Amino acid sequence: MISQPRRILFYTLAGCIPIILIVAAEVLFRLLGVGESTRTPFIKLQENADYAVFNPAYAERYFQGFTPSVAYNPFSAQKPENSYRIVVLGGSSTAGFPYHFYYGFPESVGRRAQAYMTERRIEIINLGMTAVNSYTLWDLKKRVRDIQPDVVLIYAGHNEYYGAFGAGSNIGLSTQSIFLKRLLLKLKRTAIFTSLEQLIQPRPELLPGESDGEQTLMARVVREAVIQEGDDVFLAGIKQFETNMRDVVTEFSDAGIPVIIGTLTSNTQDQAPLGKLDEAQTLFETAQSMSCEYRGCSRESFIRAKDLDEIRFRAPSEINSIIRSMTSDGEAILVDVEQLFENESLTGVPGSDLFIDHLHPNQKGLELMGAAFASAILEHENIKAEPTAWPTEMKLDPLAASHANLLVERLLMDYPFIQGRSPDVTARLSDSLVARFKSGKKTDSLSATIVTSPLTVSEALFEAIQSSEITPQERAQMYEALFYWRPLAIDYMKQTVAQQVTEPLLDSLTTRLAVYGANKTNDVYFWNVLGAVFLRQNHFQEADRSLAKAEAIDSTSTAMLFNRAKYYLTVGDTLTAQSYFSRYQEKSTQN
């Protein structure tokens, strides 16, 4: 007869066998690389292992049949001592939609921070993705913490209902259980689950023309189309945002990483409620018809109409209340984007003057956000120095403008802007594309080609640059855009800057290019260019600063020696100028 202790041991071992088998299978699958592409958020660049980048395939874990694009922001795999690393989290507005990522507010933050923090290497890592919400931020928090950001910026909350795992979304589990949704995200980190998921859930077929662009996704993500204020789905969206965001902020604050969160803003003046609730429609129409003697007199009516809108692609005011409460206790820093846009709006109520559609800021709005978040960083870092003369605002190149307009047109052709899927959507989209092909403008035809073919944006930029119809200013703008697609191609950047530096009318843009190159590579060439351009512009303090940097890198650079001599001669120090010029002549003779 088996003794009681042996019986307990036997059953214990028997119970452990499934666990042992699962662990063994997980180890085997990982060794075989099964599902690795969707389990690793940051990967090293194949062409340069010293740099890492966000893995585009990782975003597939949140969707089926759709992979949101992510910014191409390579960063040092081993964080340099002099770097200042800024990670930005959020949805499509953070990603920069409908513009390319380098026109979004995160890159604007980087350019402005660099203008003050000249001795630091600014690294922007923009993790904004279309149709993600607080669950994605919760899922990424530990991975982001591990790459050692100096600050985390967050602009998120519009997608709590229809984004991935949202309260009213068909992407993810249909339950409102925060525990179960988080459990699913944790399971997706295992090789066993990801392999089973790929086997059991094949990618769904896409409708014609739905392979690219947020607008078609908006039509496919909705499970609970009508969400009334105060109902169970509405409250679930509010609860998930607060629960996930508090965990996100705590994760970073416990690690000593400051978090800066922006309140949300949207087009409340020119975007009518998308739902059919009479009260919301009436409030909106009444607000639009008001004749006011002061700015923003109809603000409350517009906001109330938005909050009552049953189709919730715009965040309700409760989301901003949560954001303000999270920042009031000092755990996070507030950037009041909502108030900023009201202050900057022509009428005191944000509309098409600051938005390109229902909630995505236009370029002016994105620059405002960039300035506000950058100011919050500088205040937190207690940086009170005067800014440099480095230009910080980047103007849209003609290809980006055409492509953005096309994406917005596509967005407005479908749900929720047109209730129900209209049978002529495909025809109207086709007409829009044909019109661009026939417009006679190279940038229009290329923007349509990007949408209808595998042509990439960088390839389209290269092709546009060769066009004879492009002006020198437009060509220079597109060269600048290419810098962001090739941020580690130092020879290409040098050649590009060399082409622009001889044209004084392009000094502002040339300066941005040189600053970008200097920040990415710290190569003496770019500091010399900055010194030469600033001398030409009579910015003597900036010229001195740039040339001092060049001299610290390479004290024998002939370009630096010549520009130093020119600088000292210009400011009246002829003896020092002669000294540098003599060294320049000696070095030139040796070469």
User: Residue 511 has which token pair?
Assistant: 């300066």
> Would you give the end-to-end CA distance of the chain in angstroms?
96
Q: What is the mean pLDDT of residues 321-350?
A: 92
Residue-by-residue DSSP string for 182-245: HHHHHHTTSHHHHHHHHHHSPPPPPPTT-SS-HHHHHHHSBSS----TTSHHHHHHHHHHHHHH
Query: What is the reported pLDDT for 503?
Result: 83
Query: What is the reported pLDDT for 108?
Result: 95
Contact residues for 486 (Cβ-Cβ < 8 A; gap 6+): 458, 492, 493
Residue in 489, 490, 534, 492 with CA at minimum distance from that of residue 510: 534
CA distances from 372 to 12, 105, 347 (A): 59, 10, 20
Q: How confident is the model at residue 17 (pLDDT cuts 50, 70, 90)?
A: low
CA distances from 58 to 26, 87, 179, 256, 424 (A): 19, 17, 22, 26, 35
Amino acid in the structure at residue 21: L
Q: What is the mean pLDDT of residues 266-273?
A: 94
Q: What is the pLDDT of residues 103-135, one digit of tens each?
A: 999 999 999 998 888 888 899 999 999 989 999
Query: What is the reported pLDDT for 2?
Result: 57
Rounded to an integer, what distance in angstroms lies between the CA atom of residue 225 and that of residue 159? 13
The pLDDT of residue 26 is above 70: no
The mean-pLDDT minimum among 305-314, 429-438, 557-566, 571-580 falls in 429-438
Which has more pLDDT, 22 or 64? 64
The pLDDT of residue 235 is above 80: yes
Which residues are bridge partners to 155 per DSSP?
A: 90
Contact 120, 91 (CB under 8 A): no
Query: What is the reported pLDDT for 142?
Result: 95
Q: What is the mean pLDDT of residues 326-334?
A: 87
Query: What is the reported pLDDT for 7?
Result: 59
CA distances from 509 to 374, 391, 541 (A): 21, 8, 19
Rounded to an integer, what distance in angstroms lies between the CA atom of residue 76 and that of residue 48? 10
Q: What is the pLDDT of residues 189-229, one digit of tens each?
A: 776 667 666 666 544 433 333 334 334 566 666 656 788 99
């004084």: which residue's tokens?
504
Contact 564, 551 (CB under 8 A): yes
Contact 376, 116 (CB under 8 A): no
How many residues belong to the chain? 591
Query: What is the reported pLDDT for 329?
Result: 78
The pLDDT of residue 401 is above 90: yes
The pLDDT of residue 149 is above 50: yes
Q: How confident is the model at residue 4 (pLDDT cuts 50, 70, 90)?
A: low
Residue 553: half-sphere exposure toward Cβ, Cα within 13 Å: 20
Query: What is the reported pLDDT for 135?
Result: 94
Q: What is the mean pLDDT of residues 282-310?
A: 86
Query: What is the reported pLDDT for 390?
Result: 78
Rounded to an integer, what distance in angstroms lies between the CA atom of residue 193 and that of residue 438? 49
Q: What is the pLDDT of residues 421-441, one digit of tens each?
A: 555 666 777 878 888 888 888
φ, ψ dihedrals at 460, nearest 5°: -65, -40
CA distances from 435 to 98, 327, 416 (A): 20, 48, 24
Query: What is the reported pLDDT for 373?
Result: 97
CB atoms closer than 10 angstroms to residue 171: 21
Which has more pLDDT, 223 or 180? 180
């001398």: which residue's tokens?
535
pTM of the model: 0.88
Q: How confident is the model at residue 35 (pLDDT cuts 50, 70, 90)?
A: low
Whole-number mean pLDDT of the chain?
85
Rounded to an integer, what distance in angstroms lies between the CA atom of residue 183 and that of residue 181? 5
Contact 40, 59 (CB under 8 A): no
User: Residue 286 has which token pair?
Assistant: 């009444």
The mean-pLDDT minimum among 224-238, 384-398, 482-496 falls in 384-398
């205040």: which residue's tokens?
379
Q: What is the pLDDT of residues 450-492, one digit of tens each?
A: 988 889 999 999 999 988 888 888 888 898 899 899 888 888 8
Residue-by-residue DSSP string for 9-49: HHHHHHHHHHHHHHHHHHHHHHHTTTTGGGT-SEEE-SS-T
The pLDDT of residue 137 is above 50: yes
Q: How confident is the model at residue 177 (pLDDT cuts 50, 70, 90)?
A: confident
The pLDDT of residue 259 is above 70: yes
Q: How confident is the model at residue 19 (pLDDT cuts 50, 70, 90)?
A: low
DSSP label of 422: -
Query: What is the reported pLDDT for 398?
Result: 93
Residue in 427, 270, 335 with CA at minimum distance from that of residue 109: 335
The pLDDT of residue 276 is above 80: yes
